[in-house]
Amino acid sequence: MSRRALITGITGQDGSYLAEHLLALGYEVWGLVRGQANPHVSRLRKHIGDVQITTGDLLDQGSLISAVERVQPDEVYNLGAISYVPMSWQQPELTTEVTAVGVQRMLEAIRVVSGISPSRTPGREQIRFYQASSSEMFGMVRETPQNEATPFHPRSPYGVAKSFGHYTTQNYRESYGMFAVSGILFNHESPRRGAEFVTRKVSLGAARIRLGLASELRLGNLDARRDWGFAGDYARAMRLMLAQDAPEDFVIGTGQTQSVRELVEFAFRTAGLNWEDHVVLDAKYTRPAEVDLLCADPKKAREQLGWEPKVTFEELVTMMVESDLRLLSESVRPEDEPFSPDHW
């Protein structure tokens, strides 16, 4: 019998790569969306293949219980969130409800459907739960690189909300004996990344300028450093975490950092351009509280999961720029792509 997975956020970048990976392994894959009329569902099916859909909303406890009851999953991957960090300052309450409390609602749905209580612990064939935690929880870092024991100091409403979800997952694991894990994923990108994220903003900007569709790209802080990897590699790590004998949390990243300036320089060079001729610094793109440096220590994932990233930073940026050159040459608008930024 194939395993059955339920993915929240399936129309986003991570959900699409995870769905592809699980389908290739023989899983039956279900996606949770907020309505069957969602236009991104048909686009997702066209690109990903045999994905089944059920309705539910991370803001609605009852809908999540109904979805878990209907699907009867072996594994639940909670990737749904308000995932764009700058938006979390504009909509902090919604970010908290979806990205923080939404985790608790999904865990509670699993607990209720499974009949788990303080006096009734789960059996061996219980539903396994994965929570998408984030390196943004580290924020103002206290040590570099960051590992599973590094204290959190989030610097955005998004980071605060992710910290709540992370600790809630830990609490359900310790309180009820549930197989619940968090993957603390560092920045992971791809051609499917939303156009508002800095990596995709840069690759699209370079492609637009190369094709004569724009003359400049406006950016904020070029000195921030991030540990950037390929989203498809990180999807493999999610599944490996739920395949372990015991539930544990893992940091996932490359262990290397590049600055936004280095990202811009390489992307523009890939497009045959000199970035200094086109990039304009704009203070409005600066965060209220900046996170200057994030760098993963993935030693535990390497040793216990056998996980290693396959795509290098240079290969990732090249992949994104070349994809956006093709996209814009075909006159497809980024907002018409199948992987929606609204994926909770």
> Could you say which of 163, 182, 203, 340 is catalytic?
163
Residues in the chain: 344
Tokens describing residue 80: 């749904």
> Distance (Å, rounded) from C-alpha 80 to C-alpha 12?
8
For 114, phi then psi, to 5°, come to -80, -10
Q: Long-range pairs for 63-71 at CB < 8 Å and ≥24 separation?
A: 64/32, 64/105, 64/106, 64/108, 64/109, 65/109, 65/112, 65/113, 67/6, 67/32, 67/109, 68/6, 68/109, 68/110, 68/113, 68/127, 69/113, 71/4, 71/6, 71/30
Residue 163 known to be catalytic: yes
Q: Between vectors from CA 136 to CA 132 and to CA 140, what angle results, nearest 5°?
A: 150
- What three-state secondary structure class fits 199? helix
Cβ atoms within 10 Å, residue 60 = 15
> Distance (Å, rounded) from C-alpha 122 to C-alpha 116?
6
Residue 185 pairs in a beta bridge with 134, 252
> Distance (Å, rounded) from C-alpha 281 to C-alpha 112?
51
Amino acid at 21: H
**Given the structure tokens 């996606």, which residue do they identify?**
31
> Distance (Å, rounded) from C-alpha 331 to C-alpha 147?
43
**What amino acid positions are annotated as catalytic residues?**
163
